[in-house]
Chains A and B, each alone.
Chain A
């Protein structure tokens, strides 16, 4: 980023003399940062290459139908990843919806309503949440959240919402709902912290202008704040989604690890990251190992896809406007 007072037009010329482009130090520095940039790209390429190479037996045997086959039978060497892909997508999307609603709400409160003596400690606590290791979330899920869902929340939900599709018993101590709640809590700090910053970055003049026109607080937020902050909020949500998709340990502890297709939010299910963590150590045969790596490759591609979609969305929303860049 350049300071605002330096013109950044394309025809901007480097001052010669002080920053000589053929200066040795300059060249070395240039070479180093170029190397750094290519290293990052090369790591990703190498990972893709290595994953594809080691997964090749499974890729060549099952092809693209791997993505929609529900059969995961290591001893019979039949592998399909749909239960894991579906579990990952369902849990992360539900967590994304819940996390965005709660997270953006919390960020709006912190910026627009909270007095400083509330804002500072609450912001601090929210950021602390991000520092808790995921295994702690997982164990909390096993010992506290799971039983609470089973004995308190689950029966309540069944009593009042059993008319909703995919809401039916039996309620177990592990399952999709427990995983969604854990993931929501885990992605909240990211969403709250980034949303808070982008909402706070909305210029005061925007707010004052709309308030001068007689808008209520809600109207001010809806008309002046959210549209201005939407690309940043979207970026925050996507970062949260990326974390939810890749989360392994906490989810493996609470999701129930069943390869059967779930029919309820209380059913045990599986995610891609969880099946790799569970089964990679004791594989049944070489095809099993290749298939697990294939799952890893699909997971990496989905993560890349999510990032690409995020960039496209942010670009579309901003349409070339100057924006808070979330990198």
Chain B
């Protein structure tokens, strides 16, 4: 209930920003519509250039498809799934309808990632959305499903420690040991060693985790499994892991509430939530040994140095890139590669095409990390070649 209040508040607060971005989009749409009679020769819009520096090369390989390729589409699309990208998707779909394709109406229900996977598996929606990639057993039930990354999320370590004002520095092994219960006190040598000059209390650490099944928990435990063999062998990666210690709060706000109320506590929340609520955030050590402050920029970096498989089901925690924040992940839209309804298929793929280009500019205004250029380029190829209807690619570079 509180979460909803917060969302509403956040949306209201962002309305001003949104209005600005909307104006920009309308202006942009107007600009490209002057030349849209010959889409084959239209260069990618300015926005696409802004987010994909390699736009020129892309244009050559995909036949220069304009970001507003779907402007004449008419379809009603339904989607369901993850709550984390819901504010972004809502903004996207509204902007797309008002600025690009008036005939495309998208109804997105943020029922949770698990529900999104279930509904796309049962084909009751046109697309699903999930924070965690589908597992192999889930994939087996939905053959021909394609993951499309839309934005990135990051998980932030927040804390409430007496007398500590500067950002705490923590490495993955230490975080894992705290959540395993093997590091019990704040002045443990492992924590003190990374935070020279900070006076840490000798108190017990109050560990706070999510009580509800959550993509945030999935990303967090995915990271712990990667950096700690003990965690990997114990609780493992899960939306609902068996927590060895601590207490559970419902949602980001539940965790935050417990961290605020219990002195000397530690918890984890989504980056956007931590940002908008000005929570203290720990700097986490990445693979190249830097202590990185979580931000949309450092989150985007996490996806830049990763080899992308065709299905994009890839973990980007503990990423190798320099400056990358290590607890990050993609969030996905899920659709079938072989589409049955040609009109809906075209509307959906055109929408996604816009989303990975112009749509990415909205990401930054809403504090969502934009996709790096290399990822956008890979998705361009997926959208133009892999999504088919009646045996033909839905989106054709002419």
Interface residues of A (CB under 8 A from B): 71-76, 135, 139, 142, 146-147, 150, 170, 172-175, 252-253, 256-260, 268, 274, 278-279, 281-285, 288
CB-defined contacts of B214 to chain A, threshold 8 Å: 282
Q: Can you report 28 A-B residue pairs in the complex whose CB atoms are below 8 A from each other?
A: A74-B213, A74-B239, A74-B240, A75-B235, A75-B236, A75-B240, A75-B241, A139-B2, A147-B261, A150-B262, A172-B206, A173-B262, A252-B211, A256-B248, A257-B211, A257-B247, A257-B248, A258-B246, A268-B246, A268-B248, A278-B213, A279-B240, A281-B213, A282-B115, A282-B215, A282-B239, A284-B213, A288-B240
Q: In the assembly, what is the distance between CA of A236 and CA of B355, in Å?
A: 60
Q: In the assembly, what is the distance between CA of A173 and CA of B261, in Å?
A: 6
The residues in B between 111 and 151 inclusive whose CB is less than 8 angstroms from any CB of A are 111-115, 135, 137
B248 touches A146 (CB 8 A): no
Q: In the assembly, what is the distance between CA of A139 and CA of B236, in Å?
A: 32
B261 touches A146 (CB 8 A): yes
Q: Which 4 A-B pairs have the closest CB atoms?
A: A282-B213, A257-B248, A257-B211, A75-B238
Q: In the assembly, what is the distance between CA of A288 and CA of B112, in Å?
A: 16
* Known contacts A268-B247, A268-B248; is-contact A282 B237 (Cβ 8 Å): no
Q: In the assembly, what is the distance between CA of A180 and CA of B258, in Å?
A: 19
A257 touches B249 (CB 8 A): yes
CB-defined contacts of A173 to chain B, threshold 8 Å: 258, 261-262
B250 touches A257 (CB 8 A): yes
CB-defined contacts of A284 to chain B, threshold 8 Å: 213, 238-240
The residues in B between 240 and 285 inclusive whose CB is less than 8 angstroms from any CB of A are 240-250, 254, 257-258, 261-262
| Neighbour of B114 across the interface among A142, A257, A258, A282, CB < 8 A | A282
Q: In the assembly, what is the distance between CA of A74 and CA of B246, in Å?
A: 17
Tell me whether chain B's interface is mostly helix, strand or loop, or mixed. Answer: loop
B250 touches A281 (CB 8 A): no
Question: Is B311 an interface position by the 8 A CB rule?
Answer: no
CB-defined contacts of A73 to chain B, threshold 8 Å: 235, 241-242
Question: Is B13 an interface position by the 8 A CB rule?
Answer: no
CB-defined contacts of A260 to chain B, threshold 8 Å: 243-245
Question: Is B212 an interface position by the 8 A CB rule?
Answer: yes
* Known contacts A173-B262, A278-B211, A278-B212; is-contact A285 B137 (Cβ 8 Å): yes
A327 to chain B, nearest CB (A): 33
B247 touches A174 (CB 8 A): yes
Question: Is B196 an interface position by the 8 A CB rule?
Answer: no
* Known contacts A72-B242, A135-B1, A257-B248; is-contact A281 B236 (Cβ 8 Å): no
CB-defined contacts of A285 to chain B, threshold 8 Å: 135, 137
- Count chain B CB atoms within 10 A of each CB in A146, A147, A282, A288 and give the residue with the most: A282
A281 touches B262 (CB 8 A): no
Name A289's closest neighbour in chain B (CB-CB). Answer: B114
Q: A75-B240, A76-B236 are in contact. List 13 more A-B contacts (CB 8 A).
A: A74-B239, A76-B242, A173-B262, A253-B254, A256-B248, A257-B211, A257-B248, A274-B211, A281-B114, A282-B114, A282-B215, A282-B240, A283-B114
